[in-house]
Amino acid sequence: MADPLRFHYKVDGSNFTSAGEASVEVKKKLRQLGFSPETIRKVSIAMYEGEINMVIHARGGDADVFVYPDRIEIVLADTGPGIADVDLAMQEGYSTAPDNIRTLGFGAGMGLPNMKRNSDSMRIDSTVGVGTTIYMTILV
Amino acid sequence: MTVGELCKTLDLTPFSVADEDRPISGGYIGDLLSWVMGRAESDQVWITIMSNQNIVAVATLADVAMILLAEGVCPDEGVANIAASRGINLYGSKLPAFELATRIGSLI
Ligand SMILES: Nc1ncnc2c1ncn2[C@@H]1O[C@H](COP(=O)(O)OP(=O)(O)OP(=O)(O)O)[C@@H](O)[C@H]1O
Ligand SMILES: [Mg+2]
């Protein structure tokens, strides 16, 4: 099978206001590549939520997007605090976002559920004190 | 109804005029960004009182037709320019969100 197209982004963990840049770039790329609005929407939502989580919970990280003819894979890796209880974190409404982040509109505890809902498969590898890597696949 | 027509009818304040011909199919009201990301649909008006730069990325990715700031809220410093450079329609109104929603609902 042909090698996938790969897009790599460093996600800056120090700027809460301009967060989301990598996701906006990926949306642009997928549009140029001619993917359907529905696929673009799923990737946009799933990646944005993961990107924002790396910024607000993990001091930034690395985002990779692999584009295959039949699927898009998103890998978000950070070396932040990790998630102690993934099942709890996945629940709608659960959030540890601090107040200064909440005033910007984050912290509803809906990000991980949005990622789950918009991807066809999602895996979270997380170790407390080491970091978190999230793999999402969206079928085309 | 298009963004431009809505602006004229409701006498909205234009902060960033990017695509006046964009059609409007409905609306979503919310200030928590993950709710908006998960629930707002393409071509809707997003009514909010959130005014920081993050609304531009959310509007881009959720593909809403326009952001409409309610209650006389103005965008934070620089946000209107960023919206314009990203092709995002950003308008404002003195009216509260409920009032805006009922009027838009009767227009579309
Ligand atoms: N990359 C990460 N590193 C460490 N903790 C994380 C990470 N992603 C999520 N979490 C934890 O999981 C919780 C739930 O994440 P989720 O995205 O659902 O909600 P949120 O980010 O708090 O709020 P929202 O996404 O609605 O703005 C977070 O509050 C945080 O405690
Ligand atoms: Mg989140």
How does pLDDT run across B59-102, given as a tens digit for each residue?
A: 999 999 999 999 999 999 999 999 999 999 999 999 999 999 99
Go through A67-79 and write b for each residue having 16 or more CB atoms within 10 A of its CB, e for each that does not. beeeebbbbbbbb
Query: Which residues of B fall within a CB distance of 8 Å from A19?
Result: 54, 57
Across A22-40, average pLDDT: 97
B6-33 tens-digit pLDDT: 999 999 999 999 999 999 999 999 999 9
User: How many DSSP H helices and E strands does chain B contain?
Assistant: 5, 5
Contact assignment for A114 to B38 by CB distance below 8 Å: yes
* pLDDT score of A15: 86
Query: End-to-end CA distance of chain A, in Å?
Result: 16
The answer to whether residue A1 scores a pLDDT higher than 80 is no
The answer to whether residue A124 scores a pLDDT higher than 80 is yes
The answer to whether residue A2 scores a pLDDT higher than 80 is no
Instruction: State the ipTM, two decimals.
Output: 0.93
A69-104 tens-digit pLDDT: 999 999 999 999 999 999 999 999 999 999 999 999
Contact assignment for B35 to A108 by CB distance below 8 Å: yes
Q: Is A17 left (phi over 0), alpha (psi -120 to 50) or beta?
A: alpha
* pLDDT score of A106: 97
Residues in chain A: 140
Q: Indicate whether residue A7 lines ligand 1 (CB < 6 A).
A: no
| Distance from Cα A56 to the centre of ligand 2, integer Å | 8
- Mean pLDDT score of chain A: 96
Q: CA angle at residue B23 from B108 to B49, to 5 degrees?
A: 75
Q: Count the Cβ atoms, other than its own, within 10 Å of residue A59.
A: 16
The token duo for A46 is: 């799933």
* Cβ proximity of A18 and B53 under 8 Å: yes
CA–CA gap between residue B62 and residue B39 (Å, rounded):
9
**Displacement of CA A128 from its chain's centroid (Å):** 19
Mutate to test the pocket of ligand 1, among A57, A102, A103, A132 (most ligand atoms within 8 A of CB): A57
A55-69 tens-digit pLDDT: 999 999 999 999 999
* pLDDT score of B35: 97
* A109 and chain B in contact, CB less than 8 A: yes
Mutate to test the pocket of ligand 1, among A88, A95, A119, A128 (most ligand atoms within 8 A of CB): A95
* Beta strand spans in A3-120 (E): 5-12, 60-67, 71-78
Domains of chain B as residue ranges with CATH: 3-107 (3.40.1390.20)
* A105 and chain B in contact, CB less than 8 A: yes
Domains of chain A as residue ranges with CATH: 5-139 (3.30.565.10)
Closest residue in chain B to residue A44, using alpha carbons only? B61
pTM: 0.96
